Chains A and B, each alone.
Chain A
């Protein structure tokens, strides 16, 4: 099964610990048996090919899916994550690839979406746009985003990196301590990617625990303390970033591909013969 099974009974509880998670969708075994752990203030890279089960795992942790079997511990306490709201109340927030931003709304309004600041009494309260702008600006300053000219700009006018940064800033300021970042560097230029990597390092320094899902091994090794490789719904590698390399990871994935290909050929030959 997994090459490096997580050590049980650590002194300080992990931010997240998952044991023997199983999830199928009909005939598809998305997660066969997954155990991972994320230490406090740790940045864990989750890599693997398309269909390996990365999104399923993230969606279970963010409350979108319920696992068929297995245990989830958040900060030491066993929990069954019931919904997205429940995950958030546990301090877990996910920044999806689509970022869940509304392109026709301003940066400030996006950052306070559904947590708007208001004046007056409900239901006759009106939006406190000035305060939201002020705080949005300071949140962005906090995480070191200074390329944005105005928090009143529509999100549609921003670059991919700026959108990513805004989505992350929103999660952080909603009180999330555990961040799940789904492909934070997808479709991003070199400069922008570097900006996001800086942002992730910065969050780690501030004590946030993070799981970063990514395709690009170089990026993952650059910011993550540890890497887990997910293949066919199982963790096949759990190693410190300092003890592995992009070459090794690439080789592992390639080897798996060749093994499958040969298997397929062999079975093809068998039926022909």
Chain B
């Protein structure tokens, strides 16, 4: 009680400067991780000027885009207290469905029919995960672990296990998969899609009832339900959202590179998304997080990856660093939650 009183009511007994700085950094997690991203960019640029070449910036934005879209959906899902391990498989499934519906070699329907069918199936996967998790009460970790294998099987069947060409082309390719050089625009269109999605979702998270209810559901499930929030609906909705976005990211990526590989994405993409969200300040226990933070988390990971490439550090080191970054972020998250409950952080 003494600690709580001191922290909340008595100014002279307030937490010291150190605690306040720590508190500010932690509360504005996006800001601190942004500083890390800038410092890393500076470091790599000084080490090798190729880092800030047009080619490398193109490379970074290209690599970032799909992960950022997947991470945005995962952040929302993590905030409401669930996880989806299968989003990386939806990323492969969606373009495979576009292929089956719209390719000249298959059914040959217009491309938009294929895209709508693919997004519909992605949403359906999310709905299934959500219903199994909330209605049948299977932990989402298990539900989506099963889905991870199931979807891979479906994708392999659809594509007969081989790499195929992505249908579309023309205007469709310009809107969803243009590359730098196609147009005066320096960046590829996929990156702008990612940026737009991240900004919209951050708005949804912080400024709409849906976002508030997502946070409330993850922050105190029973309390949110007692307040009359339909927590089941909130969870199912975020499952649908995360899968819709993963499917969309897959369609964008396959359009840009013009091919579909049945094993593209997968658990690697999903884990990068989760890692980025966690590094960006989203709690794995739900109730707290940021979509923009996840985006900056993706930036940090990809800057590290390409930076190491350019200065000639091996890919092994990259995995090592990511591992350390995730563990450190989790320690910070857990300890911050503990200190918060003690009323130490202002």
Which of A's residues lie within 8 Å of B, judged by CB? Answer: 84-85, 96, 98-105, 109, 113-114, 116, 118, 125-127, 129, 147-149, 153-154, 156-160, 162, 188-189, 191-192
Contact of A125 among B208, B227, B341 (CB under 8 A): B208
CB-defined contacts of B343 to chain A, threshold 8 Å? 157-159
CB-defined contacts of B8 to chain A, threshold 8 Å? 147-149, 153, 157-159, 162
Which of B's residues lie within 8 Å of A, judged by CB? Answer: 1, 4-5, 7-9, 203, 207-209, 212-213, 215-216, 218-220, 222-224, 226-229, 287-288, 337, 340-341, 343, 345-346
Please name 9 pairs of A and B residues whose Cβ atoms are closer than 8 Å in the assembled complex, sorted by A. Answer: A104-B215, A104-B218, A104-B287, A105-B219, A114-B227, A125-B208, A156-B337, A188-B1, A192-B1
Nearest-CB residue, chain B, relative to A170: B227
Contact of A105 among B207, B216, B226, B346 (CB under 8 A): B216
CB-defined contacts of A118 to chain B, threshold 8 Å? 209
Given the known A-B contacts A98-B223, A157-B8, A157-B340, are A84 and B228 also in contact in the complex, defined by CB atoms under 8 Å? yes
Contact B287 A159 (CB under 8 A): no
Contact B208 A100 (CB under 8 A): no
Give A116 to B346 CA distance when docked, in angstroms. Answer: 26
Give A192 to B1 CA distance when docked, in angstroms. Answer: 9
Q: DSSP class of B's interface residues: helix, strand, loop or mixed?
A: helix
CB-defined contacts of A188 to chain B, threshold 8 Å? 1
Give A188 to B5 CA distance when docked, in angstroms. Answer: 12
Q: Which of A148, A154, A159, A160: most chain B Cβ within 10 A?
A: A159
Contact B223 A159 (CB under 8 A): no
CB-defined contacts of B5 to chain A, threshold 8 Å? 159, 189, 191
CB-defined contacts of B226 to chain A, threshold 8 Å? 84, 96, 100
Contact A157 B345 (CB under 8 A): yes
Give A189 to B123 CA distance when docked, in angstroms. Answer: 51
Contact B228 A85 (CB under 8 A): yes
Contact B223 A125 (CB under 8 A): no
Contact B208 A126 (CB under 8 A): yes
Contact A102 B216 (CB under 8 A): yes
Contact A158 B209 (CB under 8 A): no
Give A98 to B203 CA distance when docked, in angstroms. Answer: 30
Given the known A-B contacts A96-B226, A118-B209, are A102 and B4 also in contact in the complex, defined by CB atoms under 8 Å? no
Contact B341 A116 (CB under 8 A): no
Give A99 to B222 CA distance when docked, in angstroms. Answer: 10
CB-defined contacts of A191 to chain B, threshold 8 Å? 5
Contact A102 B223 (CB under 8 A): yes
Contact A103 B208 (CB under 8 A): no
Q: Which of A114, A118, A188: most chain B Cβ within 10 A?
A: A114
